Structure 1
Amino acid sequence: MRPFAELLDRLSLTTSRNAKLVLLRDYLKTTPDPDRGWALAALTGELSFATAKPAMIRKAVEARVDPVLFGWSYDYVGDLAETAALIWPRDPQHRANREPELGEVADALMHAGRAEAPALIEGWLDALEPKGRWALLKLVTGALRVGLSARLARTAVAMMRPAAVPEPPSPEGGEAAEALAPVTVGEVEEVWHALKPPYEDLFAWLEGRAERPSPDAPGRFRPVMLAVALDEGLDLPRLDPADFIAEWKWDGIRVQAVREGGETRLYSRTGDEISAAFPDVMADLAFEGAVDGELLVVRDGVVAPFGDLQQRLNRKTADARLMQAYPAGILAYDLLAEGGEDLRALPLTERRARLERLAAAHPGQRLGLSPLLAHTTWDELAALRADPPVGAAAEGLMLKRRDSPYVAGRPKGPWFKWKRDPHVIDAVLMYAQRGHGKRSGFYSDYTFGVWTGEGALTPVGKAYFGFTDQELKQLDKFVRDHTVERFGPVRAVRAERDFGLVLEIAFEGLQRSTRHKSGVAMRFPRVSRIRWDKPAREADTLDSVLDLLDAIERGGGRVSAGEKA
């Protein structure tokens, strides 16, 4: 457990992407099976324990520590695992003779019942030092928060086999060892979904002890190709619009629908299977292959706003009422495989032609074709981007080279996303709460509001990023200096017409919401500017926000709330 704890600690304190890659690569190369496999599963989100929950940890700590003291400590630290690890008092009578290994912990928790798990965890906490306890609790809760994405972890896996120089012949006259060919992250991702933790067959392949695991499992996920953000000033002057097709950047979620060898599955862009939540879509699929597209709510051929799709996301199942109220479907824009043939190496124009034939012959209403946008100049596309007729369901445009193969990852050049400019409002800071991890000592989560017709503030959103570290310190000081009331971990900040801090909030969309007092909910809000110069009374009103919502629903372009729709 100690090497895993050291890895998590160093990853959490490292901001450099390359340094994180080296840390994980070295850990995987020096740690034996099965510990390294279980660590990789935890870092990529492939490991969870149904019998171990945060509430159980809290209960175990409160049985040994005064609950009020624990509550105060948790409020200050802001992280359950870190608080419990530091405050845990060992029971000397039951302390183990050795620290547990990571593989031992994973195996025990996977086979333990709900009644057995608490005793196991308490015993391990007694055996471990604070850093080891922290790593154990991070593992148990699944909230690692070390700034390492699943794809970055798989990149480190590929780095285990770099380009190598063949070994020289041995003094005894033996033949030189053959150098292993380097492995790309795309090759690792290609086999990833055919593997299971602790990935011993994966490591055997990377170390040259076994053949590459077969990626040809029916219904498997194919690593997705991603686009880079378009820089209008740098990219457009050097690109020829005739080399690109253009289509809408739909405001849904990226999915991969696979139907092959009797297996039918629906994956998110990260490879998580979401089939059970969309039985209406699954029952309608009738092709043989793998389709890349956007999952949306579609009514009578019209794409609904993202808020409608949100009603169906993050659910394990969907009942008939939900499916009828929010009918889901896929707008396809790429064909990765058909009839057992892998199409990814073909140019986009050839894949598109085959996709068009597949979509035209496909029965049912759940699979459609994402239309191409006719254009000859970038100016024509810029006008569509600014004012799309499809309204709230389009975030902008996608530009894809006609000759591009389908390459896993985010290659620079073949595909671009040209998003619309964000909406902007001026709002007043109302409440603040401490963050987690590195931000646990700062008030970094901000609830903001706008003025109602009665001259009061009503909350319209919450933001916790978009500002620099220096600005965070300034915001934290403002919160501490102007706190007027406390509600547990939340501080109410002085906010009046003649005094208050105005935040310029950028966001991607608005939707109507019965769950919020204001009647609106924001998508992806963030602090784009701190308006130290602006009086609180000049912040936006709820009426202007509702006007903006009306404009969005009518398909208008990006505007500030204060502008007339």
Structure 2
Amino acid sequence: MKAFAQLLELLALTPSRNRKIAALAEYFAKTPDPDRGYALAVLTGALSFRNVKPAKLKEIVLGEVDPHLFALSYDYVGDLGETIALIWPHHGGTEELPSLTDLIELFNTTSKGELPRLISSLLTRAEINERWAVVKLATGALRIGVSARLAKTALAEMSGKDLQAIEEVWHGLRIPYAELFTWLEDRGERPDIDHAARFHPMMLSNPIDEARDLEKLDPADFSAEWKWDGIRVQLVAARGNVSLFSRTGDDIGPAFPDVVEAMMGDAVLDGELLVGADFAPGPFNDLQQRLNRKVASPKHLKDLPAFVRVYDMLFDGSEDIRALEWTERRARLEAFFTRHRQTRLDLSEVLDFGDWPTLAEHRRRGADEHGHEGVMVKLRTSPYVPGRPKGLWYKWKRDPNLVDAILMYAQRGHGKRSSFYSDFTFGVWKGNEIVPIGKAYFGFTDAELKQLDKWVRTHTLQAFGPVREVEKSLVFEVAFDSAQESARHKSGVALRFPRINRIRWDKPAGEAATLEEMQVFIGAT
């Protein structure tokens, strides 16, 4: 556990991507099985075990620490794990902690009633950095700037294996990845994973630079489709079994049985998950009601039917066709739809255009009239390559919507931002009242973050733990992709992908937008 705690501390404090990769590679090379396998699962979010709720941790700490002191400390530090690690009153380092493998087993097998005693014992035995690691592990909220992709890159660095080769087998492996490390260390063969039993890494696009890219790209070499406002999914169907994966490889099939059970034919398909009757997509907010659920309710199945708009094919039956050009894969896909009548799958439309101005007009009208996110532009000769290769696929998103909103609340960030107020809730006028319409935590520079943090501290009205209510006088120009009606929000409005476009230090709050003005954006989607 000591080595894992040191790794987490280094990863959290190191902004350098290369340094993180080196630290991960060194840890995986030196740590024995199965600890390194469980560490890999924890870091990539692949491990599911009984997490301890933050409220329970606070309760444990408040049994040992003055509540007022804890509240002041938590407000200053901003991170629960770091606060507990620093404030726990009992001296640690007196006894070795269990290994990472044993610790995970303890969390899984200890009864709910015994968990507080276990946590207290671990915190007392641990040194400061180990306490922080225990809390992070217990809550399942690492937030240390490590993605699954970064961890796999470190495995490639450690072993000399190709990153794509690791991606190819990743989703067919089982924790604690013994066969993966056997292969990486040349002690065994590459794991043989049936294509029908796993997720396949997706091909991603790059944003198009209108000034630079359109000047050098020949429109005759590219095809175009709408960019749909849903979530990217992969359908894997073979020998009577069908799986539905999110873009991160999570199996979401149980939440969308209407799609899975209706799939006909054997193939691996790439597309967009949407909701709506008769293949007419509804707003993203409708889809959101069905996401992050283990199972679909009968009401959702009836009122919010799901379907997949398919735009690519990776396997035609058992044949891997990813090396074929896009035009050949598209022909195979169209033939597949001819052979297999689908009730919950349809083909994404290929747009007709001869030059970039014509496609730009498609893009504008699609956004204005149908709420499309923009267009996808794909090289006709491109193979299906995992990752984000340059020059093959582009996304040309519609221009963002802009609204002037008023800062209402600020909350401390996490990780390297834990000392700054960096999460901002903003709102618009509803008569003489300001109602919240969204929250954003990016879109500003580091220098602007320091300015905002200072402003929040000097304009605070009330403090609620890590959250501060501020004077309603600072205006943000907020960019967002779309807006929908939402009964879950006090304003009745939900924004899609809000981000801070500009800080309007010059603009009076009285000139910010009104809720009535937001209806224009809702009507556009």
- TM-score by length of structure 1 reads 0.89
* Distance in 2 of aligned mates of 1:26 and 1:488: 38
User: In structure 2, the residue corresponding to 1:373 is in which secondary structure?
Assistant: coil
Contact 2:28 2:36 in 1 (8 A): yes
Give per-residue Cα distances to partners, 1:474-524, cap 9 Å, x unaligned. 1122222222334454322222xxxx1111111111000122222211111
User: In structure 1, the residue corresponding to 2:196 is in which secondary structure?
Assistant: coil
Contact 1:398 1:417 in 2 (8 A): yes
Pick from 245, 250, 256 the counterpart of residue 234 of structure 2: 256
Contact 1:305 1:392 in 2 (8 A): no
* Distance in 1 of aligned mates of 2:339 and 2:75: 59
Contact 1:61 1:84 in 2 (8 A): yes
The structure-2 alpha-carbon separation of the partners of 1:270 and 1:51, relative to structure 1 and needing over 3 Å to count, comes to closer
Tell me the equivalent position of 1:155: 153
Could you tell me which amino acid in structure 1 is paired with residue 38 of structure 2? Answer: W
Pick from 181, 191, 195 the counterpart of residue 169 of structure 2: 191
Question: Would you say 1:241 and 2:219 are equivalent positions?
Answer: yes
- Aligned-pair CA distance for 1:254: 0.3
Identity %: 55
Contact 2:482 2:521 in 1 (8 A): no
Contact 1:451 1:541 in 2 (8 A): yes
- Aligned-pair CA distance for 1:217: 5.4
* Distance in 2 of aligned mates of 1:91 and 1:26: 30
Tell me the equivalent position of 2:99: 101
Give per-residue Cα distances to partners, 1:385-444, cap 9 Å, x unaligned. 122078455211111111111111111111111111111111121222222232222222
* Distance in 2 of aligned mates of 1:389 and 1:217: 37
The structure-2 alpha-carbon separation of the partners of 1:217 and 1:385, relative to structure 1 and needing over 3 Å to count, comes to closer
Contact 1:51 1:112 in 2 (8 A): no
Contact 1:258 1:290 in 2 (8 A): yes
- Aligned-pair CA distance for 1:269: 0.5
- Aligned-pair CA distance for 1:250: 0.7
Could you tell me which amino acid in structure 2 is paired with residue 79 of structure 1? Answer: D
* Mapping for residues 47-86 of structure 1, pairs under 5 Å: 47-50=47-50, 52-86=52-86
User: In structure 1, the residue corresponding to 2:408 is in which secondary structure?
Assistant: strand
* Mapping for residues 138-153 of structure 1, pairs under 5 Å: 138-153=136-151
The structure-2 alpha-carbon separation of the partners of 1:502 and 1:91, relative to structure 1 and needing over 3 Å to count, comes to closer
User: In structure 1, the residue corresponding to 2:57 is in which secondary structure?
Assistant: helix
* Mapping for residues 405-444 of structure 1, pairs under 5 Å: 405-444=383-422
Give per-residue Cα distances to partners, 1:66-92, cap 9 Å, x unaligned. 334323322332222112222223388
Tell me the equivalent position of 1:506: 479
Could you tell me which amino acid in structure 1 is paired with residue 474 of structure 2? Answer: L
Q: Which runs of 5+ in 2 are unaligned?
A: none
* Distance in 2 of aligned mates of 1:215 and 1:390: 45
Question: Would you say 1:349 and 2:315 are equivalent positions?
Answer: no
* Distance in 1 of aligned mates of 2:148 and 2:497: 22
* Distance in 1 of aligned mates of 2:95 and 2:450: 45
Contact 1:258 1:264 in 2 (8 A): yes
The structure-2 alpha-carbon separation of the partners of 1:263 and 1:89, relative to structure 1 and needing over 3 Å to count, comes to farther
Pick from 519, 523, 530 the counterpart of residue 492 of structure 2: 519
User: In structure 2, the residue corresponding to 1:284 is in which secondary structure?
Assistant: coil
Question: Would you say 1:450 and 2:448 are equivalent positions?
Answer: no
Contact 2:71 2:465 in 1 (8 A): no
* Distance in 2 of aligned mates of 1:208 and 1:9: 30
* Distance in 2 of aligned mates of 1:504 and 1:224: 34
Contact 1:289 1:339 in 2 (8 A): yes
Could you tell me which amino acid in structure 2 is paired with residue 514 of structure 1? Answer: A
Farther off after superposition, 422-431 or 204-213: 422-431
Tell me the equivalent position of 1:167: none
* Distance in 1 of aligned mates of 2:370 and 2:13: 40
* Distance in 2 of aligned mates of 1:126 and 1:112: 18
Question: Would you say 1:375 and 2:353 are equivalent positions?
Answer: yes
Question: Would you say 1:481 and 2:458 are equivalent positions?
Answer: yes
Bigger RCO of structures 1 and 2 (CA < 8 A, at least 6 apart)? 2
- Aligned-pair CA distance for 1:112: 3.7
Give per-residue Cα distances to partners, 1:29-85, cap 9 Å, x unaligned. 122212211111111001122253333322322222233432332233222211222
Tell me the equivalent position of 1:166: none
Tell me the equivalent position of 2:291: 313
Farther off after superposition, 484-493 or 353-362: 484-493
Tell me the equivalent position of 2:180: 202
Give per-residue Cα distances to partners, 1:425-470, cap 9 Å, x unaligned. 1112122222223222222222212223x33322222222111111
* Distance in 1 of aligned mates of 2:209 and 2:255: 37
User: In structure 2, the residue corresponding to 1:516 is in which secondary structure?
Assistant: coil
RMSD: 1.9
Tell me the equivalent position of 2:281: 303
Give per-residue Cα distances to partners, 1:323-364, cap 9 Å, x unaligned. 111111000011111221111111111111111121233334
The structure-2 alpha-carbon separation of the partners of 1:214 and 1:113, relative to structure 1 and needing over 3 Å to count, comes to farther
Contact 2:479 2:501 in 1 (8 A): yes
Could you tell me which amino acid in structure 1 is paired with residue 484 of structure 2? Answer: Q
Tell me the equivalent position of 1:173: none
Give per-residue Cα distances to partners, 1:172-222, cap 9 Å, x unaligned. xxxxxxxxxxx2211101111121121121111011101111121533111
User: In structure 2, the residue corresponding to 1:287 is in which secondary structure?
Assistant: coil
The structure-2 alpha-carbon separation of the partners of 1:488 and 1:136, relative to structure 1 and needing over 3 Å to count, comes to closer
Could you tell me which amino acid in structure 1 is paired with residue 8 of structure 2? Answer: L
Question: Would you say 1:332 and 2:310 are equivalent positions?
Answer: yes
Contact 1:505 1:526 in 2 (8 A): yes
Contact 2:463 2:469 in 1 (8 A): yes
Could you tell me which amino acid in structure 2 is paired with residue 472 of structure 1? Answer: L
Contact 1:277 1:312 in 2 (8 A): yes
* Distance in 2 of aligned mates of 1:480 and 1:446: 13
* Distance in 1 of aligned mates of 2:503 and 2:72: 31
Tell me the equivalent position of 1:466: 443
Contact 1:96 1:123 in 2 (8 A): no
User: In structure 2, the residue corresponding to 1:458 is in which secondary structure?
Assistant: strand
Farther off after superposition, 373-382 or 515-524: 515-524
Could you tell me which amino acid in structure 2 is paired with residue 527 of structure 1? Answer: I
* Distance in 1 of aligned mates of 2:487 and 2:474: 27
